[in-house]
Amino acid sequence: MGNELEHIVILETSDVHGNIFPVNYADNSEEQFGLVKLSTIVKNERKRNSKLILIDNGDTFQGTPITYYYAKIARGFSNPVIDILNYMKYDAAVIGNHEFNYGMEILNDSIKQSKFPWLSCNIIDTKTKETAFGVPYIIKEFRGDLRIAILGVTTKYIPNWENQDIIKDLKFLDVIEETKKWVRILKNDKKVDIVVVSYHGGFEKNIDTGEETESQTGENQAYELCNEVDGIDVLLTGHQHREIYGMKINGVTIIQPGSSAKNIGKVDIIAEKTLLGWRIVESKSSLISVSNISSDYKAGKIAEKYEIATQAWLDTPIGRIKGDMTIKNPIEARLKDNALIEFINKVQMINGGTDISATSLFSNSKGFPKKVTMRDIVSNYVYPNTLKVMKVKGKDIKDALELSAAYFDICNGRIKEASNVNSLKLRHYNYDMWEGIEYEINVSKKIGERVTKLNYKGMPVNMEQDYNIALNNYRAAGGGNYYMFKDKEIVRDIPIDISELIANYFLKNKEVVAEVNKNWKVIHD
């Protein structure tokens, strides 16, 4: 009996973010990512081993112009990302935080369209008191008696980011306690031999040393899962867009496959049948890159009509720029007022009815050329954020600026992006630039004391006075550790994507003048 072995392969995707094709929509250049390339890898792996489990770990169908086009324009059709996941024969998918971005209708429609279950044991429907999205786990059987469970878990931090109207009927339970509960059920009641937890969340501590690497907010709890929950054999992770493989924590095999469909995570398990049942004798994790992998032609054909329509939509001219609204140097654009950020803030202030606004340069984008198309807008404003107007104190504005100021460091006498901003990935979208106030940040000062000037209409901001400010819904909910905004009064809710507000401004005005009033700057001594 002890010589009977079984080889099981688990493949994981995570944080695909709508990347179907290997294309950069900003300029249509070819990239090394995409579900059509992952599909080729999956086919090859199935040929090598038919005992294969394919899991998506969340943040799947939001993030690219093709998914935006589906959500906002082609709503009468099927979700192209789900069409391809069905074609690839996924066994299950986990609810991620970005699954909510397009609203519950699209999420529920996508789940109905899926030929596989969506998992999340810790998201509860407050009306039914049951798990909100189908089942918490699946069990796969091999040889009739080797039973492997995949339990889905989602970061509990979603209420800190998402529009409350979208998630009003949901409750996000504690990740650790719910995982403990369900692992006990799987081991004791369901008699599974191997427990795989697929957690849409990442590591809050250094994997090697256990030292804290970020604020312990509960956004990421993978390290705690490995150490506090007995019975987990494999932990599939995501959310942080990291590439983690070949490692174990407290005997648990861990993996995280990066983002944007650049890799697929692979866990090889060798199980041995004993008199007491099956046990793992070996498990290891690795990543398979899509680099130099050809695209699956059939997968591409599934979404081809969406791609053609998206490309035509992206190239539709909607306005022009008088002056210069390009970004030539992203770090310079974050050091002093520039026309692109001033314009986006202007759009937010007009639609919000405020005279103070904050926004980010989300990625190292190029700004707007002379002739502006939808491609330019979605390339520069990449998230489906909506607009909120909040009432905050002057001290909240000061605290927010100090948090943004921590984005910078000084190296060899020059200001640069800090290497440890928000821990494990540099999040450009968590550095805000403001309009309607005059301020100065001195990076030579210690963190928390870098705002050396803060005025409103020529006078110092009153720390105890109320101010209405326009922000995207992510920031308004306290996203990015901007706790000073959390639970503040919402004066006005504009439930329209900010990218759409920008497009509407162009459509109405045709020509936009690039202006810079130089109301802020970042310096060092």
Distance CA 479, CA 159 (A): 9
Is the pLDDT confidence value at 420 over 90? no
CA contacts within 13 A on the Cβ side of 404 = 29
Using only C-alpha atoms, what is the Rg of the chain?
Answer: 24
Distance CA 121, CA 474 (A): 24
- Judged on CB neighbours under 10 Å (0-12, 13-18, 19+), 504 is middle
| Contact assessment for residue 140 and residue 91, using Cβ atoms and an 8 Å cutoff | yes
Q: If pLDDT is split at 50, 70 and 90, which confidence band does 412 have?
A: confident
Largest CA distance in the chain: 83
Q: If pLDDT is split at 50, 70 and 90, which confidence band does 422 have?
A: very low
**pLDDT tens for each residue of 180-204:** 999 999 999 999 999 999 999 999 9
Is the pLDDT confidence value at 493 over 90? no
The predicted model gives 68-85 an average pLDDT of: 92
> All domains of the chain, ordered by start, with CATH?
5-310 (3.60.21.10), 316-523 (3.90.780.10)
Closest CA to 154 of 146, 145, 162: 162
The two structure tokens encoding residue 104: 């519950």
Closest CA to 461 of 391, 390, 397, 392: 397
The two structure tokens encoding residue 213: 């690497």
Q: If pLDDT is split at 50, 70 and 90, which confidence band does 120 have?
A: very high
Give the DSSP letter string of 21-65. SSEETTTTEE-S--HHHHHHHHHHHHHH-S-EEEEE-S--S-SSH
Is the pLDDT confidence value at 248 over 90? yes
Percent of the chain at pLDDT exceeding 70: 98
- List phi, psi (to 5°) of 62: -140, 140
Q: 341's torsion region: left (phi>0), alpha (psi -120 to 50) or beta?
A: alpha
The rounded Cα 388 to chain-centroid distance in angstroms is 20
**pLDDT tens for each residue of 124-180:** 999 999 999 989 999 999 987 999 999 999 999 998 888 888 999 999 999 999 999
Distance CA 93, CA 236 (A): 12
For 264, other C-beta atoms within 10 Å of its C-beta total 24
Q: If pLDDT is split at 50, 70 and 90, which confidence band does 254 have?
A: very high
Q: Which residues pair with 480 in a beta bridge?
A: none
List of E strands, 418-510:
432-435, 438-442, 451-456, 459-460, 466-472, 489-497
Q: If pLDDT is split at 50, 70 and 90, which confidence band does 426 have?
A: low
pLDDT at 421: 46
Give the helix, strand, coil percentages of the chain, each rounded to 5. Answer: 30, 30, 40
Is the pLDDT confidence value at 296 over 70? yes
Q: Integer distance in angstroms from the first to the last C-alpha of the chain?
A: 73
**pLDDT tens for each residue of 457-478:** 999 999 999 999 999 999 999 9
Closest CA to 8 of 270, 373, 246: 270
Side chain identity, residue 146: L
